[in-house]
Amino acid sequence: MELVTLSRVFAPAEADLLAARLESAGFTPFVHGLDAALSIEGYSMVTGGIQVKVPADQAESARQFLAGGADDPGWDGRFRAVYDRAMAVYRSGRCSPATLCDVAETAFLRDSGCSVQELYDFIEDAVEAGEPDFETALEVQRIRRDWFLRVQGGQWSGKIVPMSELPPKGEAVDGIPWLPRLIVKARLKLRGEMPSDLMYGCGGDRPFLRRMGMNLPGFLELVRDRGEDDRAIVEAVKASRHRAGHRD
């Protein structure tokens, strides 16, 4: 099979991300030169660099695909590439946060206000429970990223709130259990202050929000927009529940 080189890069992580992007678009990428790339700080000093190739019959379409993104698919596209590769890693049996992402992917996520643990939680539940889907994960992370860049100036607070400080699962407000806890979880998600064993959008959050006629991105936006006004959040949830025809 004849292979055509599409790109030469000088970091294995860059090659992996480009290959993941191509694969997510339906191409069959091959990465050559990694063995020779192990040198100073993980960068290739080999003259030819690390070569990302595709079969000859895919070359023209792949070039057009890359050119269409001006060699930069934007944040959504990069998140999709990282998500797809993480999904493949998880399905291959390497089912732990420690093995999910490489250095470049971890840095990309962190610069987006997302931890590897948070991505892992979405991947794990998508595989094992069938939800949330990619679009939901993307929207949740987009909201968090906007907060991270706009409000936090791209800086993590450095604070992690322990599980002991969250309201109990059974605590209720206006007869609605789970809501006090979810409000706090959403705020922690926005601020990037969740402990590693807590997930915004877990198997308890999703069915609860469905009963309220809401979804994960919508509730996160509600908490973002209402700030610290718990009463406004509760009333909005009750109104949504009423529109959805649920009373419990």
User: Is the link from the previous residue into 12 a cis peptide, with omega within 30 of 0?
Assistant: no
Q: In the prediction, which pLDDT does 38 show?
A: 47
Q: In the prediction, which pLDDT does 46 show?
A: 42
Sorted by where each begins, the domain ranges of the chain are: 3-72, 73-156, 157-248
> For residue range 119-137, what is the model confidence (pLDDT) as tens digits?
999 999 999 999 999 999 9
Q: What is the CA radius of gyration of the chain?
A: 21
Residue, of 238 and 51, whose pLDDT is higher: 238
> For residue range 153-190, what is the model confidence (pLDDT) as tens digits?
999 999 999 999 999 999 999 999 999 999 999 999 99
Q: In the prediction, which pLDDT does 139 show?
A: 96
> For residue range 9-29, what is the model confidence (pLDDT) as tens digits?
656 666 777 788 788 778 899
Name the percent of the chain lying above pLDDT 90: 67
Q: In the prediction, which pLDDT does 119 show?
A: 98
Residue 152 per-residue DSSP state: S
Name the percent of the chain lying above pLDDT 70: 86
Q: In the prediction, which pLDDT does 34 show?
A: 67
Q: In the prediction, which pLDDT does 9 show?
A: 61
Q: In the prediction, which pLDDT does 177 show?
A: 98
Q: In the prediction, which pLDDT does 47 show?
A: 44
Residue spans of beta strands (DSSP E) within the chain: 3-9, 30-32, 50-55, 172-173, 176-177
d(CA 10, CA 170): 53
- Amino acid in the structure at residue 32: H
Q: Assess whether pLDDT exceeds 70 at residue 197.
A: yes
Q: In the prediction, which pLDDT does 94 show?
A: 85
Closest CA relative to residue 31, chosen from 5, 56, 59, 57: 5
Q: In the prediction, which pLDDT does 31 show?
A: 86
Q: In the prediction, which pLDDT does 15 show?
A: 73
d(CA 110, CA 137): 15
> For residue range 59-115, what is the model confidence (pLDDT) as tens digits?
888 877 766 543 445 889 999 999 999 999 999 998 899 999 999 999 999 999 999
* Sign, Cα dihedral of 156, 73, 119, 97: negative
Q: Is 214 helix (H, G, I), strand (E, B) or coil?
A: coil
